Amino acid sequence: MHKAVATLIGLSTLLALPALGQHRSADESFTMALTGDSIINRSLSVYDEPQYLEMIEVLRGADVAVTNLETVLHNFEPYPMAESGGTWMRSDPKIANELAWAGIDMVARANNHTGDYGTLGLELTTKYVEQAGLVDAGVGMSLAEAREARFLETSKARVALISLSSSFANHMRAGRSRDDVPARPGLNPLRLKTTYVLPENSYENIRTAADSLGQFTDLDGQPRGTDEEKPWQMNVLGRNFAVGEAPRVLREPNKDDVAEIMAVINNASRLADFTIVTIHSHQNGGRRELPDDFLPVFARAAIEAGADVFFGHGPHILQGIEIYQGKPILYSLGNFIFQNETLLRLPSDNYERYDLGERSHVADFNDARYENDSTGFPALQENWEAIIAVPTFENRQLTELALYPIDLGFGKTRQVRGRPILADDDLGQKIMADLARLSEPFGTEFKYRRGVGYVKLDDRD
């Protein structure tokens, strides 16, 4: 066999190649490009600004590039569900090819817009994503399929992606089959039990008001039994309340969800060279730039289970970075593409919310929702500033974490803003200063040079 190959390509050429029986190893340098939310409904391939094309090369130059696909792809075959992720996201199916053009290899699909157009919308999105050659994770025709890792084969390494969401309308959550009842298609959920903790006086005020509304009686007006073991907890109008020293919101992940997701991570880590775990989470620690208390605990557990990288998205702004056991945790990368104002069509529910009539269209909805750009997303600069994170591994160990600040066009018109370019030096320094402040609680420090931020991984940095 080797003689035949030598005859065809020439002996000198053959000698310059690696041995034919030799496999490449993930021990060589391997880079990832990680991005946040991609709410995309317009072409990427038509633009040619230098700082835009430089950013595209950052994605293309990585061994694997990942984004969160926060829209569904179809031609309006499905109808909108009664509940959405905030508004009903939809993009032209060709958008999947635009992401592939930009260098994206893998997409996370578990987020609060996964089920905006029901099961058919989910299935069509899967069809178009896969036709574009993108590997997707976080959705499936059953809970087991939605939970599972998906794998990308590269010349250097096999990469696993696990996508999950803690923010979703309940109908979007994938389910199991039982007793010959088909499984429910949907996303990979991390369910949270939310408890509102209040000082005793405030708690008693709510209890008294709830009692006056009949919240503690059954349909016959008889008092419900109380839990004597938990006298300082109650459920009112579907919300849990408890007594504590100071007001706070306590979120506890579902133990079964955690155990199942960690088992998937551990399995993937033994089948791939690199395992990436990503979460879509709107919950926060009192302010949008702070991760909720459950998230650091969950992220660290994912690293311990075998993840090489953990990154989040969902709050639409940056959150801090932590290095845990030598692995990067990026709590939120912010927005990568944020084109939520240029949807082609919206269901009637959007217009009815703002008392907009039949002659109103998408632009009128935007004006009503954002009060002519004076409030909400258009008015908040941090929504339009983000990073692309590029970790580099040598011998499977993190040796560099580069951060490319990106500018999504704050203050520009809605037909312009939302598409990223590399930030100029002034904005880049501002973004890195914000990130340093947000990362201070995790003990993470940075340096900034030539438009790029770098995490200080040891004393030599």
Kindly report the length of the chain: 461
% pLDDT > 70, the chain: 92
Q: For 181, what's the count of Cα atoms within 13 Å in the CB-facing half-sphere?
A: 5
Q: pLDDT tens, 329-361?
A: 999 999 999 999 999 999 999 999 999 999 999
Domains belonging to the chain, first-starting first, are 32-190+254-455 (3.60.21), 195-249 (no CATH)
Spatial CB neighbours of 145, under 8 Å, sequence gap ≥ 6 = 139, 174
The reported pLDDT for the residue numbered 2 is 37
Beta carbons of 33 and 103 less than 8 angstroms apart: yes
Count the helices and strands in the chain (H runs, E runs): 12, 22
Q: pLDDT tens, 367-397?
A: 999 999 999 999 999 999 999 999 999 999 9
The reported pLDDT for the residue numbered 233 is 87
- Could you give phi then psi for residue 271, rounded to 5 degrees? -115, -10
Long-range contacts of 379-384 (CB under 8 A, 24+ apart): 380/317, 381/410, 382/289, 382/317, 382/318, 382/334, 382/434, 383/316, 383/317, 383/334, 383/335, 383/338, 383/408, 383/410, 384/335, 384/338, 384/408, 384/409, 384/410, 384/417
**What's the average pLDDT block by block, 10 residues per block, for the chain (461 residues)?**
35 38 70 98 97 98 98 98 96 98 98 98 98 98 98 97 98 96 98 96 92 81 62 87 94 98 98 98 96 98 98 98 98 98 97 96 97 96 98 97 98 97 98 98 96 89 64
The reported pLDDT for the residue numbered 218 is 72
The reported pLDDT for the residue numbered 8 is 33
Name the maximum alpha-carbon separation found in the chain: 92
Angle at 318 between CA 65 and CA 314, to 5 degrees: 75
Q: CA 116 to CA 85: how far, in whole Å?
A: 7
The pair of structure tokens assigned to 316 is 């639409």
Type of residue numbered 58: V
- Where are the extended beta strands (E) located within 303-354? 309-313, 321-324, 327-330, 335-338
Spatial CB neighbours of 34, under 8 Å, sequence gap ≥ 6 = 65, 66, 276, 309, 311, 330, 333, 388, 389, 390, 391
Q: CA 193 to CA 250: how far, in whole Å?
A: 8
The pair of structure tokens assigned to 147 is 């939970």
* CA dihedral of residues 252, 258, 261, 265 (deg, nearest 10): 100
Q: pLDDT tens, 187-238?
A: 999 999 999 999 999 999 999 999 888 888 877 677 765 555 566 889 898 8
Question: What pTM did the predictor assign?
Answer: 0.92
Q: CA 330 to CA 309: how far, in whole Å?
A: 8
- Work out the burial of residue 382: count CB atoms within 10 Å of its CB; fewer than 13 is exposed, 13-18 middle, 19 or more buried: middle
The reported pLDDT for the residue numbered 447 is 96
Closest CA to 318 of 370, 268, 259, 382: 382
The reported pLDDT for the residue numbered 127 is 98
